[in-house]
Amino acid sequence: MEHYLSLAVKSMFVENILLAYFLGMCSFLACSKKMETAIGLGLAVTFVLTITTPANWAINHYLLDKGALAWISPALAKVDLSFLSFIAFIAVIATMVQIVELSIDRISPKLYTALGIFLPLIAVNCSILGGSLFMAERKYNFLESVVFGFGAGAGWALAIIAMSAIRSKLKYSNIPESLQGLGITMIITGLMAMGFMCFAGIQL
């Protein structure tokens, strides 16, 4: 239990997927202008990451990894399909996003209208594919991949919501003409990343 808790804290704060690994920067920069957008996108990313990371774990563990096909027949024990992982992961992600979109539309139309426009965008958010690739590289087990997926998503949501709050204050400050927009946003992200580095070394 403790191990999973510490993994969650680690993926959320210490190794924040956005601030330490720079994943999902594009949508972070483009969608952090308004608080509501940031919250919607943050929730959507958390949700999709929590689903796709374990889904890709299953694909990786039962189909792609070295010797993973042994459960079908011992003759396949030597097959190593891990080179296909990129295309398999991105296909799973694109499909999952589609399924999630359809089921949310069916179950809760209210949530669908809130997240609706962001869901398709998420398929090409680097943090989703990054989550799956990190999961494969670090050889997490099933539960670890669920916890890691959720933690990474929550960390990303935290960062974008904090950023949108800062940017709404930023409107009233006096920034040099050519630093406005992207430039100052990058520098603030740098300061945030420094802040998050304070969490390093926290052990539960």
* Site of interaction with other proteins (CB under 8 A): 19-26, 29-30, 33, 83-87, 89-91, 94, 123-126, 128-130, 133-134, 137, 176-187, 189-191, 193-194, 197
User: Mind giving me the DSSP string for 107-140?
Assistant: H-HHHHHHHTTTHHHHTT-HHHHHHHHHHHHTT-
85/89 Cα distance (integer angstroms)? 6
Closest to other proteins by CB, 72 vs 187, is 187
163/170 Cα distance (integer angstroms)? 10
For the bound state, the minimum distance from the C-beta of residue 106 to other proteins, rounded and expressed in Å, comes to 21
For the bound state, the minimum distance from the C-beta of residue 184 to other proteins, rounded and expressed in Å, comes to 7
For the bound state, the minimum distance from the C-beta of residue 2 to other proteins, rounded and expressed in Å, comes to 27
145/179 Cα distance (integer angstroms)? 40
Instruction: Count Cβ atoms below 10 Å from residue 34 Cβ, excluding itself.
Output: 12
CB 44 within 8 A of CB 118: yes
Closest to other proteins by CB, 2 vs 137, is 137
Q: Give how far Cα 164 sits from Cα of 79, 97, 126, 182, 198, Å.
A: 47, 24, 20, 13, 21
* Structure-token match 């009233």, residue found: 172
For the bound state, the minimum distance from the C-beta of residue 120 to other proteins, rounded and expressed in Å, comes to 8
Q: Classify 80 as helix, strand or coil.
A: coil
Closest to other proteins by CB, 47 vs 89, is 89
Closest to other proteins by CB, 109 vs 181, is 181
Total residue count of the chain as it appears in this document: 204
For the bound state, the minimum distance from the C-beta of residue 88 to other proteins, rounded and expressed in Å, comes to 9
Closest to other proteins by CB, 54 vs 131, is 131
